[in-house]
Structures are given as structure tokens and as C-alpha cells.
Amino acid sequence: MKTSSFFGGVIGVALSFFHAIEAQDFATHGTYTHPDTGITFYTSSEANGTITGGGELSMVSWGGFTFGMALPPSALTVDTHEYIGLIIGSTPTGKGGWSGIVHGDKQSAAMPNHLMLLAWPTGVGDQIATSFRYSSAYQPPTAYKGSANLTQLYSQVNSTNWVLVYRCQNCFIFDDPSQSTFNTSTSQAKSILQGWAQSSVAPTDPKNPMSSFDQHNNGMGEFVVQVQSAMQASYAVWATKTATGPIATGTATATATFTPIPVPTATSYDYIVVGAGAGGIPMADKLSAAGKSVLLIEKGVASSARWGGTIRPENGWLDGQNLTWFDIPGECNRIWNGGTTGVACTDTDQMAGCILGGGTAVNAGLWWKPNPSDWDVNFPAGWKSSDMAAATKRVFSRIPGTDHPSMDGIRYLQDGFNVITTGLASANWTSVTANDVPEKKNRTYAHAPHMFSNGERGGPMATYLLSTSDRNNFHLWLNTSVEKINRVGGHATSLNVVPTNNGGRIGTVQLTPGTGRVVVSAGAFGTPKLLFRSGIGPADQLQVVQGTEGTTMINQSSWIHLPVGFGLSDHFNTDTVVSHPNVSYYDWPAAWLTPNETDRTNYITKRSGPLAQAAPNIGPIMWEEIKGPDGIVRHMQWQARVEGSNGIPNGNSMTLSLYLGRGEVSRGRATISKGLSMIVSELPYGDPNDLATVATAIDNMVNALKTIPNITWNLPPPGVSGADYLKTVDLTYANIGARRANHWMGTAKMGTDSALVGNGTSVVDTNCKVYGTDNIFVADASIFPGMVTTNPSALIVTASEHASDLILALPYPQTGHGGHHGGSEE
């Protein structure tokens, strides 16, 4: 059979089609009997088409893509751990490529913590190379060492497509020995989520099944396999088939080894700050300014060129400039478009920046003066808006932000802003300069202010880190991960560190005896991970760590039981999409390698033009306060950008992302896996009152924009209410990428009710000190008791400024051994 003729059939005759069955099911389904093996498959297909943007959740792929599955006839009543699979991959350039399948479950087919099957033509006849991989984060996957086994039954290759039929045994069991084990149930789930991705670029060594390869560039997405539709009575007969011809074999690329620097044995520090992001950098600056010896430890590499960063476009257009992509505002979306390697965290299933600057190095740089209500509603006494005024003033005197970042003062690419604000003005919403009136966030809109300065990213790295680096009592270690805090009772004495790259430290770094302190600022996932590994957290999480680390973990008698990881919150995101003929798309992803020549020149020589602004044409930002059915006032922030989403292509489309902020009551949980990676185990979304209020906000926005001539509502479609639209947008792990804002908070909640006493719920007190300890502090997004109105970077910096004053004012412990005596989890 010619593969090209199959693709003719997939569109026309060979398949019996079914409609997509769920909102997160981005595929066309049918049945297909492979003529050479006689095996019948339930298929999920992506048509031949042009990929736009990053190709996420695409319904097309250049050259097309099909996955087929056949299951035993008893799969609905007895769990099966195997299937027979079909992959029809494409190599549209005629120069190779690869295709991949993610074996999902009933909740998710996300890349992290799922078994991946990769396949590609080797260039030798009809030979197909296959390998199993996995990743604990959005990073290049590594070799899978579980029990999955693949037997090839048939393969064929031509110049533009290839076919593989295979038997996959133990592929519904995830049992890599370094990770937590789980099974996918075919009898309980009734349907299975699967993921797919393709690339038109061949792996580095196509003849080696364990070759390295570049990120997908030819579409990716998810689809649903209906168990009953995939069951086949002849399965047992088909499973005995074998392929003819040689099978490709190979070895994995060697694991990188680093050249570390031993920790000095005769050195100790008054303060060790863990994590150089929005919380850690200001903290280190304030502590060192007070004359304390300070060590700031960051697990990632340098980002900005100012600090030795070197990550630039591969074709060299930035070579010779004192810039990296982190410095250029218009490249801020790079982490979402092929820029994760060496930048994104490798130990969490969510997207986060593990690099100098943390989130402030990779985000869009939105910089909001805090809405006073965010402090007054969420925080305890001592952290109200009146208490935070001095810290806010200090922060914005150093990083004032700007809503016109191009150095020529011109705002570029404003067609989207102009279209939307025409409707808002007609609906009597008020235009404001956001940071002049931070409290005015009800039916108001504004140009987005950013932390940018002098046409570059700026922010904490260009201010706080700059001033602290001039002090002899400050030290910065990059490429170094803190594995655990060593303590005696509730008193920290030292920290164990390992390298994550060349030049990272290895060994145990000491705190100043008796008076040394640790400030953990590793973010909403990194902070709980470090606390768990240091014996601080719920019993179930500490037992997971103990199961992996064994006797190297602190003795169970010294565990401190606090609800670390609970209280996880995030802006609950709902994307809506409109189109208008006056709106045009600027190709920001293409600017990585092929920026518009005029725009490139203006930026390099003058720090002006579109590249001095955040991608992708952000604005306007809009706010509304709505009282929910439960009487709680919830704050909505709408963030508009000029690009399509959710199947609506780029062109004249705009995505209006609705963030549910302050007043949100949904909470989730972050937990640690056997492999010591952090995962979102309970989604922080879905409270019925939250959803009802979001539905009202959508209806209000549709009504506000109705006077705009020629506007088209793509999502929700015309006549569909906010409530009905929300029913079509999955609220599942599989769709977490569409519902998250990546503004994670709350995993080490601040409060006056210590969780060591009675029904207390808090992890840290109002001095940011971890309950049950006398010298371990947390200062980052983890301490926030509730979600805030806006993007949180400026609020985290402000919280760190305030916390530094409180920590410096605390007396040192009398005994030096803390006050913990075992604790209780109640």
C-alpha cells in the first residue's frame, strides 16, 4: 500500500467518520482496516494543512497525521495494559522528521509524567526507529526504563509519509522506577486521552532510536480514544503477527556531566536566600544592604547578558550585542515557542522559569502597582495596604514601569487596542493610567504597564541585583540546586547543594552558627519541594520523600507537619476570541530567527519599535468587579492580545483572556512524586460560584463590545451565553494549559493560625517564619493567602521588600535550636 494513497482515503473514503466527542478532542475519528495486516483501528486524524503559530492543539499537520488503536474485546470490563497501534507520520520536506504519541489517561495527556512513544524513518528502506521516553517537566524527554515493550508488526516508508503498525505491551502502565507508578484503566475510564506531536526536522541520528531531536514544529494536540470503538474481536489473532526485516537499534545519548565547584569548608553566611526571582533578588539586596553576609543561590543559568547570559538566536542576528532573548521585550514569548531547553524548570509539570530572574526573566513583564484591596482582603494584620505603602513606594521608585516602552515614545501595533476600546468607551467603561490609580479596577481599562526600562526588560535584575552585586558581603551562585535544609529540631544549620550545570556548587554550605537564617524564595512549586525534602510538610508528602531518599532524609521524629502544598491558587483563565478586519497579526515567533529587518535595526540601534514591546500586542487590559452568587465580590482582569487560539487561526483574531482573581475561592494542591518532581495533583479551579461569576463576566464583555462595527465573536459563538460556553471548555487536567495563567501562589500560606495548633491552616507567620522553626523563612508567591487582581510580579517584589524589614527586625533565638518538638497534623 502506498502511504500517500492512505492519506487520500483518510479524507475521503477509507474511514467511517465520527464527530469530535469532547471539547478537548482535537481530531477527526473513524475506523480503518489496514490492507496489509488486516487489522482494524479506531483512528484519530489530523488533516494535511498549514501550521500557524506554535501549532498547539492543531487540527492539521503538514502532510497529515493519523494514530490508530485496536484493543482486546474485553477492554471495557477487564483492564488491558496493551494495544495494537497504527501511526501514519509525515515527512513533507522529504528530509525526514519524527512523530510522537503521549499515552495519557482519563485526566490528561500532557507531556510530563506520561509514557511517550517516538518514531521516525531511519532512511534505510522501510525501517522505522522507535523508542519510549518520558519527562517529568516540559523538557527534552529521557529514556524510559519501565516495562513497556513494542513489537513492530508492519512498516513502510515513502518520500513524504510512513506507516508503522505495532503491538504495545504494558503501555498503559507508567512504571519508570524513578517515578510514581500509575495505571490507565480502560474499564473505568471508558475513554482515554492521547497526545500527539510531529516535527518536519529529522532527529540528530535517524538510525539511532535513542537519538536526540528538536522540539515539534508540525503541530501537536490531544484526542480521545473511545474504548468501545477501539475494541476488536480478532485482537488475539492480530497480536501474534510479526514484522519482517531488520529493526533499528541504538543507545541513548550520554547523560551530561557537570564540572562542579566544591563548597568552601571554612565559610558561613548570615543569610542564605534560595531562588533568584521576584522574591529572592529584592530580599538579598535588602539583607546585604543591612550589612549581613548574604549568599543568593539560583539553580538556573544566567539569563540577561548583563549577568553573563548567552542564550541567543541560533542564526546569530544578536551576536556581538550585549543582549539575550531575555533582554528583548518582543522575544518574551520564546519560552512558549521552542525556548524551554535550559530555561524551563525540569522538576514540575507546569511551565516555570528556572533561570536567573525566575518568572521576571521570562514573562511578559507586566508591572502593576498593587490594588490596595489585594492586601486588605487577603492578608492578615501587619500586611494591610497601609502597612505595605512604604514598601510599595520603594519598589516603584526603583522600578516605576512604563506603558510606552519603545524609546521613541511611540506605541506600536495598536490596532487591537483601538478596536476593543472603541466598544468599551461606548459601554461607559473608563480609560485610566493604571499605576496612577491602582485602586480603580472596576469597569476600567488601560494600556499595560511593564517593568521595562531603556527599551530592555529591566526589572529586579537591572535594579536590586545590580545594587547588591556591588557589595563585598554579597555572593551569587548560579547553576546550583539546594537539595535540602539541614536542621536540628526547628533550627537550620546548613544546606546541601548540587550542580545543575558547569560551575555549580557541590557540598554543604554553612549558616553562621546560632544566628544564620534561610529565606526560601523558590516559587510556588520550588519552595514546597525544598520544604518537603527538609522534613516540613504533610505526612503523606514526607513519606514520599522518605521512600526515595531513605535514611538520608531527616529522622521522622523531627518532621514538622504543616499543610505545605495545600492552598494552591492561580488566576483561573478562560480564553475568548474575537475577529475584526482592522486587526492584523504580527509574527512574533518568526522574530526569533527572522525578525522584520526594519524592526530589527530600530531595536538594535535605537531600542525602539515593536521589539521594544511585549509580544503579542498585549492590550487593552480591562477590569470588572462582580458579586458572585455566594455574596463574594470577585475581581476580573481581561487581557487582550492579537493572536488566535483554541482553533481560531491568527490573522485578524484577538484572544481576550479572562483571569478570575481576587475573591476566587477554588484551591488546589501541589504534591511531590517519587522522582521528586512537583505536580499539580488537585486543580485550583472549578468552584461553582467562581464559574457562575466568570459566566457573568463573559456575558458582560460580549454586551460591552456589541457596538463595535464588524466585530465577530468566535468564542463564545453568537447567541451562546457565558454559562453555556463554559460547559464547552474542559475543566480537566487534560486542558490545564488552557485554564491556567501560570500565576501560581499559596502553597506556604501566611496566617496567624499556626497549623501546628488545633485547626490552624497556615505555614508561615506574619514575619514569614515557618511555624515550628526559628530561622527558616519563606518570601515568594507561596505565602499569598489568596489570588490578587493583576499579574503578580510587582506584588511579589513588594512582599519581599516588606518581609525583609520584618525579618531583619526579629531578635535571634535564645537557644539556637528552635521550638519544634514534633508537631502535629490536625
> pLDDT tens digit string along 214-252?
888 888 888 889 999 999 999 999 999 887 666 666 555
Closest to 743 (Cα-Cα) out of 672, 664, 677, 806: 664
Triad 610, 614, 615: Cα angle to 5°: 85
For residues 669 and 531, give the distance between their C-alpha atoms in angstroms, rounded to a whole number: 15
Q: Which of 142-156, 253-267, 736-750, 768-782 has the lowest mean pLDDT?
A: 253-267
Secondary structure (3-state) at 60 = strand
The single residue listed with the C-alpha cell 524592526 is 599
pLDDT, average across residues 788-817:
92
For residues 560 and 533, is the Cβ–Cβ distance under 8 A?
no
Residue 219 or residue 556, greater confidence: 556
Q: Is the pLDDT of residue 328 over 50?
A: yes
Q: Give tens-digit pLDDT for 307-322.
A: 999 999 989 999 999 9
pLDDT, average across residues 191-199:
89
Q: What is the pLDDT of residue 390?
A: 98
Secondary structure (3-state) at 339 = coil
The single residue listed with the C-alpha cell 463576566 is 697
Residue 26 or residue 262, greater confidence: 262
Residue 340 or residue 654, greater confidence: 654
Q: What is the pLDDT of residue 258?
A: 77
Q: How many CB atoms lie within 10 A of CB 177?
A: 10
Q: Is residue 169 part of a domain?
A: yes
Q: Is residue 163 part of a domain?
A: yes
Bridge partner list, 441: none
Q: Is the pLDDT of residue 341 over 90?
A: no
Residues contacting residue 63 through CB under 8 Å, at least 6 positions apart: 7, 48, 90, 91, 92, 160, 161, 198, 200, 218
Within 675-806, strands assigned E span 678-682, 712-715, 776-778
Cis, peptide link before residue 528, omega less than 30° from 0: no
For residues 672 and 686, is the Cβ–Cβ distance under 8 A?
no
DSSP symbol at 71: B
Q: Which of 71-80, 188-197, 566-575 has the lowest mean pLDDT?
A: 188-197
For residues 41 and 185, give the distance between their C-alpha atoms in angstroms, rounded to a whole number: 19
Model confidence band, residue 824 (pLDDT cutoffs 50, 70, 90): very low
Model confidence band, residue 13 (pLDDT cutoffs 50, 70, 90): very low
Please provide the distance, in angstroms rounded to a whole number, between the alpha carbons at the two ends of the chain.
66
For residues 385 and 730, give the distance between their C-alpha atoms in angstroms, rounded to a whole number: 37
pLDDT, average across residues 329-333:
93
Model confidence band, residue 678 (pLDDT cutoffs 50, 70, 90): very high
pTM over 0.75: yes
Q: Is the pLDDT of residue 631 over 70?
A: yes
Q: How many CB atoms lie within 10 A of CB 287?
A: 24
For residues 505 and 150, give the distance between their C-alpha atoms in angstroms, rounded to a whole number: 41
Cell of 7: 492519506
Q: What is the pLDDT of residue 57?
A: 62
Q: What is the pLDDT of residue 286?
A: 98
Burial of 207 (0-12, 13-18, 19+ CB in 10 A): middle
CA 588, 592, 593, 598 dihedral sign is: positive
DSSP codes of every residue in 411-437? PP--HHHHHHHHHHHHTT-EE--GGGS
For residues 803 and 521, give the distance between their C-alpha atoms in angstroms, rounded to a whole number: 12
pLDDT, average across residues 711-735:
92
Q: Clarify whether 743 is annotated catalytic.
A: yes
Q: State how far the alpha carbon of 228 is from the alpha carbons of 290, 738, 754, in Å.
A: 68, 28, 51
Q: State how far the alpha carbon of 532 is from the alpha carbons of 293, 525, 538, 539, 560, in Å.
A: 27, 11, 8, 9, 10
Q: Is residue 63 part of a domain?
A: yes
- State percent of the chain over pLDDT 90: 76
Chain-wide mean pLDDT for the chain? 91
Q: Is the pLDDT of residue 817 over 90?
A: no
CATH of the domain at 109: 2.60.40.1210
Q: Give tens-digit pLDDT for 435-456.
A: 999 999 999 999 999 999 999 9
Model confidence band, residue 188 (pLDDT cutoffs 50, 70, 90): confident
CB burial of 20-33 (b: ≥16 within 10 Å; e: otherwise) equals eebbbbbbbbbbbe
For residues 521 and 273, is the Cβ–Cβ distance under 8 A?
yes
| Cα–chain center distance at 343 | 11
Half-sphere exposure of 376 (CA within 13 A, CB side): 8
Closest to 764 (Cα-Cα) out of 599, 519, 544: 519
Q: Is residue 11 part of a domain?
A: no
Q: Is residue 150 part of a domain?
A: yes
Cell of 778: 519563606
Q: Is residue 387 part of a domain?
A: no
Model confidence band, residue 184 (pLDDT cutoffs 50, 70, 90): confident
DSSP symbol at 344: B
The single residue listed with the C-alpha cell 528583548 is 328
Cell of 643: 493572536
For residues 538 and 561, is the Cβ–Cβ distance under 8 A?
yes
For residues 487 and 533, is the Cβ–Cβ distance under 8 A?
no
Cell of 642: 492579537
Catalytic residue selected from 475, 561, 635, 743? 743
Q: Is residue 133 part of a domain?
A: yes
DSSP codes of every residue in 104-164? --SS---STTSEEEEEEE-SSTT-EEEEEEE-SSSS--EE--SS-EEEEEEEEE-SSEEEE
Q: Is the pLDDT of residue 164 over 90?
A: yes
Q: What is the dihedral of CA 571, 574, 580, 584, to 10 degrees?
A: 50
For residues 659 and 637, is the Cβ–Cβ distance under 8 A?
yes
Model confidence band, residue 770 (pLDDT cutoffs 50, 70, 90): very high
The count of domains in the chain is 1
Q: Is residue 354 part of a domain?
A: no
Residue type, 290: A
Q: What is the pLDDT of residue 248?
A: 66
Q: Is the pLDDT of residue 17 over 50?
A: no
Triad 425, 426, 430: Cα angle to 5°: 30
Domain span at residue 139 reads 23-238
Cell of 240: 501474534
Q: Which of 57-71, 268-282, 402-416, 659-673 has the lowest mean pLDDT?
A: 57-71
Q: What is the pLDDT of residue 106?
A: 67
The single residue listed with the C-alpha cell 502532510 is 63
Q: What is the pLDDT of residue 7?
A: 31
Model confidence band, residue 344 (pLDDT cutoffs 50, 70, 90): confident
Q: How many CB atoms lie within 10 A of CB 94?
A: 10
